[in-house]
């Protein structure tokens, strides 16, 4: 089954680390127009924010990293529990 999101991570450089607290986690969300109109894209972003907050506050994020979550067409209609599972799987893959 196709995951409901794509997760990318990048370690901050030393220059960037000076402007942000080292333990801070930065996360960005993006959803393309392929997902649908503005209402669907905003709904997908809201769902991704809720999932990220749930998973990353549980201690699954690395400090000193920036994350980008990319919504897909299935993000809007995928069950919330499956999105959480997709996000946890993506974080674990990045840690490996």
Q: How many domains does one find in the chain?
A: 1
What range does the domain containing 17 cover? 5-95
Classified as helix, coil or strand, 31 is: strand
Provide the whole-model pTM: 0.85
Contacts of 35 (CB under 8 A, 6+ apart): 41, 44, 71, 72, 73, 75, 76
Q: What is the CATH number of the domain that holds 65?
A: 3.30.230.10
d(CA 26, CA 48): 14
Tokens of 20: 């942000």
What are the mean pLDDT values of the chain's consecutive 10-residue runs (96 residues total)? 88 71 81 95 96 83 84 94 94 84
């Amino acid at each position: 089954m196709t995951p409901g999101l794509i997760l990318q991570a990048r370690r901050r450089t030393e220059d960037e680390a000076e402007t942000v607290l080292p333990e801070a986690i930065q996360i960005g969300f993006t959803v393309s127009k392929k997902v649908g109109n503005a209402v669907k894209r905003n709904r997908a972003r809201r769902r991704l924010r809720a999932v990220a907050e749930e998973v990353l506050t549980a201690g699954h994020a690395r400090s000193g990293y920036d994350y980008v979550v990319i919504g897909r067409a299935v993000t809007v209609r995928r069950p919330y529990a499956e999105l959480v599972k997709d996000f946890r799987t993506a974080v674990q893959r990045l840690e490996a």
